[in-house]
Structure 1
Amino acid sequence: MSRNYKFYNPEGIYFISFAVIEWLYVFTRKEYKNIIIDSLHYCQKEKGLEIFAWCIMTIHIHLIFRSIKKTKPELLIGDFKRFTSKAIVNAIINNPKESNKLINEKINYIHNNPVTIFSTNVSHNIKTFALIK
């Protein structure tokens, strides 16, 4: 989610749209959309973000906003995007539905299993099975 916006009037109302890098379908799960919504609420309460309209789609977000606490709009949006992107990446990594951790464990188990079984009985087969990995 990166783009350099030009905000010429600090008190102005702006329409911005930002997309996920490589247009990946990230905002398909409710928990990821909730991270965005929670971040927007936080920015409203703590950073002076006034939101007029917003829309979350599967690969991008539209937002009409202004800054009401003398915070530069580019800093406000930069903070929002930085925090939100880290939170979403964290959620994806820690989500068992998304993470490859379990799959990688099972692949390693499958690859190493023949080596473990045959290591005591057939030593010349160890190299053959290890090459599969």
Structure 2
Amino acid sequence: MDNIFKPGYLIRDQQAIYYMTFTIVGWIDIFSRRVYKDMLIASLKFCQEKKGLNLHAYVMMSNHVHLIASVKPGHSLSVFVRDFKKFTARSILDYIENETESRKEWMLHQFKYYASRHTRNEDYQIWVQDNHFVELFGPDFTQQKIDYIHDNPVRAGYVYDAADYVYSSASNYEEKESIIDVDCLWF
């Protein structure tokens, strides 16, 4: 019998390079504020240092994040995903609960609502549980995904030139100043 519910996209090869999308529940614009974007950058840097993360490309939009990533030998991409989502969710919630956040009640209500729809959650859910991961095969397909990631802020009207968007690896690929190191994939 076919399963009518998609379990998400599986990471079949833990050492392959994947295009990944992480989405905030309800498409809530959490990353419209710099503090939350900086939390993600700090977490990615930690994962590069301690979890074997090879970050090849990324963009952070207002309610989702795209990455192209792999891990060093001896590490697991699935472990990176689990730990990254868990840590960033806890960090975001801690900030909302303990700092000045004008959207506090609304956001906590939304995160509680989405948590109530899944038995795996306790109180709040920040990230959509079903991840969108695609293993990258070949340079043309990989370049297409890199271009898609870098063009996101341009399509959204945030910037005219992709390399001008701070929370993207487009500047890394143009060998300009960036906020995080990226292992560029050159073809």
Structure-1-length-normalised TM-score: 0.68
Q: How many residues align?
A: 99
Contact 2:71 2:77 in 1 (8 A): yes
Identity score, percent = 31
Give the gaps of 5 or more residues in structure 2: 1-6, 106-187
CA distance in 1, matches of 2:9, 2:78: 7
Task: State which structure, 1 or 2, has the greater radius of gyration over its C-alpha atoms.
Answer: 1
Counterpart of 2:37 (choices 25, 33, 37) is 33
The aligned residue for residue 12 of structure 1 is 16
Q: Does 1:57 align with 2:68?
A: no
Counterpart of 1:83 (choices 84, 87, 90) is 87
Contact 1:92 1:98 in 2 (8 A): no
Contact 1:5 1:74 in 2 (8 A): no
SS at match of 2:57: strand
Contact 1:47 1:69 in 2 (8 A): no
Q: Which structure would you say has the larger RCO, counting Cα contacts within 8 Å and 6 or more residues apart?
A: 2
CA distance in 1, matches of 2:68, 2:94: 27
Higher fraction of helix: 1
Aligned-partner residue type, residue 95 of structure 2 = A
Give the gaps of 5 or more residues in structure 1: 102-133
Change (3 A) 1:42 1:6: same
Task: Calculate the aligned-residue CA RMSD, in Å.
Answer: 1.7
Structure 1: 4+ residue segments shifted above 4 A: none
